[in-house]
Structure 1
Amino acid sequence: MTYAQLLAKVAQWMSRDDLTARIPDFIELTEERLNRHLRVRQMETAMPATALTDGLITPASDVIDAKVLWATGYETTPLAAQSLESVISSGSYGPPSMYAWEGSSLRVDGVGSVQGVLYVRIPALSTASTNWLSEQAPSLYLFGALFEAAQYVGDDPSLWQERFDQALSDLQGNDQRRPGPLVARPR
């Protein structure tokens, strides 16, 4: 579904001509909500080995979270997500063992370099026209925008909330049900 198609569909489902100018706001609020709650493989991006500078790494501006990080050369030992206070107080000797967000940067204890997998923001439909989410789960956009519209006009948003939550759960569940190796079991 393209951005233009979504605008038309939301207007059609709302059956209100007086809110057409607000629909882009409803979609933007939906995207903000999705970026806070959704973490699926389509949002993952590899972070190559990056040298620590004063214990910090500043990822790209579209990075919203870390899935897993590890010290280069220690791929089997993921860094533990900790509070910023814990990371700062642990010092900066030896290979890194933990990290925390410090503003838009990652604070890491230890020295060397870190690599891993990060989550990036869903590209905004208003600038991209389409994105992986509008193609794979357009109902999330529709139900999210209708939820925002219902709140805006003072209607009960619970129906749209339920449908949004179900679509979100379905997408996350499908992402977690990746096929594994076949295991032979005795009869």
Structure 2
Amino acid sequence: MKKNLKISIKLTLVLVLILAVLYPLLISIVSKAAPGGGKGETIIVNGKVVGYERIGQKFTEDKYFWGRPSAVDYNAAGSAGSNKGPSNAEYLATVQARIETFLVHNPGVTKAQIPADLVTASGSGLDPHISPEAAKIQIARIARVRNISADKLQALVDEHTEGPYLGLFGPSTVHVLKLNVALDELK
């Protein structure tokens, strides 16, 4: 019995050393080599952090491009989707409400023209990107509110459209925060 107890205590101490000291230290060192030094990739405007590269933000003002809805209200501490399928009545009501809100703020757009990514949340609830189509459908609203030509806004969207990863994987996307920062910088 004493022999087993000694072995158990030794094993516990070794595992505590490895898992509670060495492993966190190794992860901390590795994170320093990551972009942003382990603090995340920040977007800085005028010396002030305005957001993060991988976390979406809520934009509801008509003068900005709107991003994807979030099931967690863009709370990075609780990344999650809604886990409700297309047959769930509550989910359908939420999507319908988003469609109606979008149509009110974007006169001249029909329900069939609204890209799905403007009315459905991503799996993480934190997606900072929208499709180029989702950005383009908002140009008329922003041009009207900001009194900027639609052609200038179209060029801005094109400039901020990122192609598929390695030119092959995934769709083209537009980072909403970066686009809105560039929009504010337009003269």
Fold equivalence (TM over 0.5): no
Structure with larger Rg? 2
Larger RCO (alpha carbons 8 Å, 6+ apart): 1
Higher strand proportion: 1
Identify, as 1 or 2, the structure richer in helix: 2
> Which TM-score band (shorter chain)?
under 0.3
